[in-house]
Structure 1
Amino acid sequence: MAPPSLFRDPWAKREAWRKHPVFSNRAMFGSMFPGFGIAVAAFSAYVAWEKLFSTANAHDDHHGHH
C-alpha cells in the first residue's frame, strides 16, 4: 500500500478558495440583485394595503367622477 502523502494534491492549498462559501452559487445570485428581496416585500405590502383600502373606498368612486 502506498503512503498517503504520495496521492496528496500539491495544489490543494491554492485551489481551496474555489470551495469557499463566498463563491457558492447561492452567494453569487444573492448578491447579484442587492435589495431585491426588500423591494418585493415592500411592493407586496403596498399592493395588499391598496387592495384592502380600495375595496373599502370603492363605493365612493362610483359617483361619476370622470
Structure 2
Amino acid sequence: MANPLPNPQLFRDPWAKREAWRKHPVFQRSAMVSKMFPGFGVAVVAFTTYVIAEKLLMSPEPSHH
C-alpha cells in the first residue's frame, strides 16, 4: 500500500522556528493574566490587615459631654 500523502517535506513550515515563541507557556493567556498585577494578592492582604487593625486599635473613645 502506498503512502496516500505526498512527500511530508512539502508540508514543512519554513517559519515554524520563528513562530514557536507564540506557543511558549509564558505567553499563554492564563500566564499573562496572572502576571499582569504582580503583588496584587499581597497588597490586598496587607491593606485588609491594616484596615482591621485600625478599626480595632484606633476605636473612638466615648465623648465626655
Q: TM-score range by the shorter chain?
A: 0.5 to 0.7
Q: How far 1:32 sits from its partner (Å)?
A: 2.5
Runs (5+) with no aligned partner, structure 2: none
Identity of aligned residues (%): 61
Structure number, greater radius of gyration: 2
Q: 1:38-57 alignment to 2 at 5 Å?
A: 38-50=42-54, 53=56
What amino acid maps onto 1:22 in structure 2?
V
**Count, aligned residues:** 61
Quote the residue 2:40 is aligned against: 36
Quote the residue 1:23 is aligned against: 27
Quote the residue 1:8 is aligned against: 12
Structure 1 length normalisation: TM-score?
0.60
Instruction: Supply the distance in 1 between the matched residues of 2:43 and 2:64 (Cα, whole angstroms).
Output: 33
Pairwise CA RMSD of aligned residues?
A: 2.8
Where 2:42 maps in the other structure, the secondary structure is: helix
Q: How far 1:64 sits from its partner (Å)?
A: 1.1
Q: How far 1:18 sits from its partner (Å)?
A: 0.5
Q: How far 1:10 sits from its partner (Å)?
A: 1.6
Q: How far 1:44 sits from its partner (Å)?
A: 2.2
